[in-house]
Amino acid sequence: MNLYEHTIVARQDTSPAQVKSLAEKYTKIVEKNDGEIVQTEDWGLLNLAYTIKKNKKGIYMHFKIKGAGKIIEELEKNEAIDKNLLRYMTVRVKKFDLEAKYFSRKDEYEKKEYKKDYNRD
């Protein structure tokens, strides 16, 4: 069974309800093809490196998927025709890093550090 990290970028004007339905839609596709979503991360609205289809920002979602290669084929086939998506990318990995939070907010990180120092006594 292969391990994949899959990231999608939705248009900046996509509503939170639409983002949630996109995540559910692609989760169902993975499960229908005998795969498993190990972890889903909502990275939120981030600046794009360059303008894509008149969008300067995008809503990022990241999935960690366990399954066969046919899952990725099916995902990308559906994503290619989805009007709400700007880009998608899949990378095959040897193992998942479930501890890392790539786009956690700086203020959340500082609050956690403050709590750690405060409870030290």
At 15, phi and psi to the nearest 5?
-75, 160
All structural domains of the chain, each given as residue ranges with its CATH number in brackets, are 2-95+102-118 (3.30.70.60)
- % of the chain exceeding 70 in pLDDT: 83
pTM of the entire structure? 0.78
Q: Which residues contact 2 (CB under 8 A, 6 or more apart)?
A: 66, 67, 68, 69, 92
Mean pLDDT, contiguous 10-residue spans, the chain (121 residues): 92 92 93 92 91 93 92 92 93 84 60 53 49
